[in-house]
Structure 1
Amino acid sequence: MSVRILFLGPLRDLADAPEMLVEAPLDWAGLLAVVGPAVAAQLGEARVNVACGGRVLADKTALAAQDGDEVALLPPVSGG
């Protein structure tokens, strides 16, 4: 039973990997514990979003990923 975490954009560089598999279930505290301190610090920023099962969470701290879920860590998008 696992959850796939996808690191997108600059978070991929901080994690030094495009993705990781972790034990399910996964909540916010568990996410912060497994992604490493550099990524965890970025997740605390309001502009960084978290999606679970293809839906961006309105409250990322309410993360409740279950077996087979994909959690995407979405850094702010720049452009113009």
Structure 2
Amino acid sequence: MKISVLAFGIAKDITGQRFLDWELGENAKLADLRAELEAKFPALLELAALRLAVNSEYANGDAVLKENDEVAIIPPVAGG
């Protein structure tokens, strides 16, 4: 199944793209996608508090993904 991945902040710098099309097997979970992303882009492992959102909602690794879901990679945000 096809998933759209959006990378923000430093995650965009790490992946080299803001938008990625990703293929996953049926019944894949968010944790499966995260593992694949971290395998392809190991620098993502260095981010302390990386969050993922599915269709604009924060989700945990057990979330089952569906065809055409949109997953956002949201790195830690700092500011002052």
TM-score by length of 1: 0.75
Asked if 1:32 is matched to 2:35, the reply is yes
Matching residue's letter, 2:50? V
Query: Identity across aligned pairs (percent)?
Result: 24
* TM-aligned CA deviation for residue 77 of structure 1: 1.2
Aligned pair count reads: 75
One-letter code aligned to 1:38: A
Counterpart contact for 1:42–1:48, Cα < 8 Å: no
- Quick one: distance in 1 between partners of 2:37 and 2:65? 14
- Where do 5+ consecutive residues of structure 1 fail to align? none
Q: Assess, with a 3 A threshold, how the Cα gap between structure 1 residues 63 and 19 changes in structure 2: closer, same or farther.
A: farther
- Aligned-pair CA distance for 1:42: 4.0
Find the aligned partners of 1:67 and 1:38 in 2 and give their Cα distance. Answer: 27
Q: Secondary structure, in 3 states, of the residue corresponding to 1:4? A: strand
Displaced runs of 4 or more, over 3 A: none
Structure holding more strand per residue? 1
- RMSD across aligned C-alpha pairs, in angstroms? 2.0
